[in-house]
């Protein structure tokens, strides 16, 4: 097995708002968050990654906003660092979320939004072990 392997994924949440006037130009902004949860008893070598991507008009998300949450189930090698599992699982799940945003906007009759690649290798990863207080 590789360090991390995608077993399944699903879209758990999806919202879309399009109240743009015809021929209006807007500035698009993107936000994302990604979390990985591991079993508390460490008996399973399966973790759950949740990627949330939000994109839309930077001036008013009530005019154009797309929010997609994609959940993936991953088998992982417990000998590999969790930070490495985090980045590898993100890289596997991101294309599904990106494609979902593009498909939704293209099928809505507006210019498709294509989320640029995210360089997860150069992002800060904040690690929480145990239960947050």
Domain boundaries, the chain: 4-110
User: In angstroms, rounded to a whole number, what is the distance separating the alpha carbons of residues 49 and 54?
Assistant: 17
Per-residue pLDDT reduced to its tens digit, 44-73: 799 999 999 999 999 887 899 999 999 999
Number of neighbours of residue 32 by Cβ within 10 angstroms: 17
Whole-structure pTM value? 0.86
Give the pLDDT of residue 123.
66
Per-residue pLDDT reduced to its tens digit, 74-132: 999 989 999 899 999 999 999 999 999 999 999 998 889 999 988 877 766 555 555 44
Q: Point out which residues pair with 50 in neighbouring strands.
A: 35, 71
Does 4-110 carry CATH code 3.10.420.10? yes
């Amino acid at each position: 097995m590789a360090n991390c392997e995608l077993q399944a994924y699903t879209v758990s949440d999806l919202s879309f708002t399009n109240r743009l006037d015809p021929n209006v130009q807007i500035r698009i902004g993107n936000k994302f968050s990604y979390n990985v949860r591991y079993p508390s008893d460490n008996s399973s070598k399966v973790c759950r990654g949740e990627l949330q991507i939000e994109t839309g008009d930077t001036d008013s998300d009530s005019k154009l906003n797309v929010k997609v949450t994609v959940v993936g189930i991953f088998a992982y090698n417990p000998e590999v660092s969790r930070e490495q599992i985090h980045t590898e699982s993100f890289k596997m799940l991101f294309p599904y979320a990106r494609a979902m945003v593009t498909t939704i906007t293209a099928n809505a009759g507006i210019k498709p939004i294509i989320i640029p690649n995210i360089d997860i290798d150069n992002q800060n990863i904040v690690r929480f072990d145990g239960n947050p207080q």
